[in-house]
Amino acid sequence: MENQIYERLRQKLDQYGVGFPNAESGIEMQILKKFFKPEEAELFLFLDLKPETAESIAKCGNKKSGAVEEILDQMFEKGLVFRRRKKGVAKFGALPFAPGIFEQQSETMDETQASLFEGYYKEVFHKNFTETEPVLIHRPIPVNREIDVSYPMAVYDHSREIVRNQDLIAVTKCICRVQKGVLDKSCDKPVETCLMFGSQARYYMDRGTGRQISTDEALEILDLCEDAGLVTMPFNTQAPANICNCCSDCCVVLGTLKKHPRPAEVLKPSFQAFVNRDLCEACETCLEHCPMDAIHVERDDAAEIDQDRCIGCSLCVNVCPPQAIQLKQKPENERVTPPETGMHMFMEIAKRRGVVPMAISKQ
């Protein structure tokens, strides 16, 4: 009976975010049992992405609302559910495994969790990050402040404009570098680099996994990340709920894309980098900064960029000493507009994965 509950929980999580697929080894069940107590797993089955009161959730499960709210509060403290309070009333919603539950372990990640996720990612989970092209949970945008464009730049392609449009901002640790760090596999990049906005920022602040910062502090973090060679990766919507700053060494999204033979085909980036051969000095500075290994230099010849691998992050533009590399915006008919909201994005991802994002049980 207990195993059946965890399998139903797995099926429900597989509907959300990038999913939660079966692994031949059964490691996904070890992860669920590490995070969820049996009563928590059972209660999660009665949650939807849209937050509801404990009373409403209790009715679905034929349980007492007081006991249900106590369990839900415990699950909130563990980062297993979303909770928001308005006028003294708490509402609770389901969280995807990723992005969601996994990211909420930044302050409690231990070696067991880190090892389980590493094994799960390598065995099967990595496939879920490229099967939904071009609708991924995050997408790279240019990091540099000055871009040669032929059209007005959309706000969702401009990290600093995204930040300036926010009323509430929190910063939290990059869960990917935290997880790799627990296993002594992390790079030397900054860790407190993920920016959360609005209700997401409030959620992180309420849990103590993020701290509120000002707009100026957020812009300084973007500068820090740019100098560190991190790729700016907002949530893939027209009004992003967050901005991650990622490296291909640790990040599950960038790391998976780097292994793909044609990352640009997966992402459909709005920008791509080009080399002015007359200015290029073949110094190879750009090579070590490209997260997709898209640049190569033959002997003393000019650098060449493989457009099948270029994701338009502009890190190479920033470090080129003779300023021989330019980032150019693609023609409008070749650019992909992100989904309008997070719900639209998750629905589209679910559709492409062939699953229906609905509650498994509301009995």
pLDDT tens by residue, 104-126: 999 999 999 999 999 999 999 99
The answer, yes or no, to whether residue 150 has pLDDT greater than 80, is: no
Per-residue burial over 55-73, b if 16 or more Cβ lie within 10 Å, else e, is eebbebbebeeeebbebbe
As a whole number, mean pLDDT of residues 244-272 equals 91
AA letter at 74:
Q
pLDDT confidence of residue 44:
96
Q: Tell me the pLDDT of the chain averaged across its residues.
A: 90
Neighbouring CB atoms inside 10 A of 208's CB total 9
The answer, yes or no, to whether residue 360 has pLDDT greater than 50, is: no
Claim: this prediction has a pTM higher than 0.75: yes
pLDDT confidence of residue 157:
86
Residues making up the chain, counted from first to last? 363
Rounded to whole angstroms, the Cα distance separating 42 from 32 reads 12
Instruction: Say what angle helices 111-123 and 27-35 make with each other, to 10 degrees.
Output: 150
pLDDT confidence of residue 359:
44
Neighbouring CB atoms inside 10 A of 87's CB total 4
As a whole number, mean pLDDT of residues 325-331 equals 89
pLDDT confidence of residue 361:
38
